[in-house]
Structure 1
Amino acid sequence: MAFEFGLFFIGALFWVEARLQGDAFSADIYGNLALMLPAEFWAALMMAAAAITINGLIKPIHHRRVAIGSCLQLANFAALAYSAAFTGGEFVIAVFASVMFVTPHIWLAFEGLRNDAK
């Protein structure tokens, strides 16, 4: 759950930076696909998905909420990784997003879906 609180906090900081500076995203770093949507969208998606996942992890655990929040995070970070790897961004950003964010959310989504079926 601490991981999701961290993602919510990072999303909030990213939102503030996007609102104040306006250049939170760079095509050189994140790729052109990421720039098709405003930085505020990516930050809001990260915060919303983290909030849904946190809500699902609070006892009593709601496995479906965990699965939904994790799948949203998975889609968010997979899209950013794809954008960085294949549309002109930095490859290291794609590897970082894939290893640090996509992988744990695959596990959380799997566990949420598996336990929801019980």
Structure 2
Amino acid sequence: MLTAEIPNGLTHPFHLHGYEFAVLAVGLFKRGQTPEDVQRELRSGELKRNNKNGPPTFKDTIAIPSTGFAVVRIKADNPGYWYFHCHFLYHLVSGMSVVLQVGEHHDNPPVPRGFPKCGDYVPSD
């Protein structure tokens, strides 16, 4: 995909905490195309995958084109609450983020004894 094809040449650097993911495809939505259409095209082989020369690339950050999409696959084996967000500060604070919950609360490992909590930090003079 050429930068000239991306509206305003803008891509959103999305970062996922706690995981790496396989990038299966990245593209621009066509007029009227829905996320369900993209899933159908991926399953049928119509959607061009990124891994034509081998296995998919693994990353924790990806550039998603403006008005576009990325298809990623993660192995959800790290229980907890993980932040997925755009690294542009304005986009982050305006809500371009999501928290992924992996597993249930009881699946999370126990907090280590003496682990600091919010409000525990007292700066030295």
TM-score (norm 2): 0.22
Q: Which has the higher strand share?
A: 2
Report the structure number with the largest CA radius of gyration.
2
Q: Which has the higher helix share?
A: 1
TM-score (norm 1): 0.23
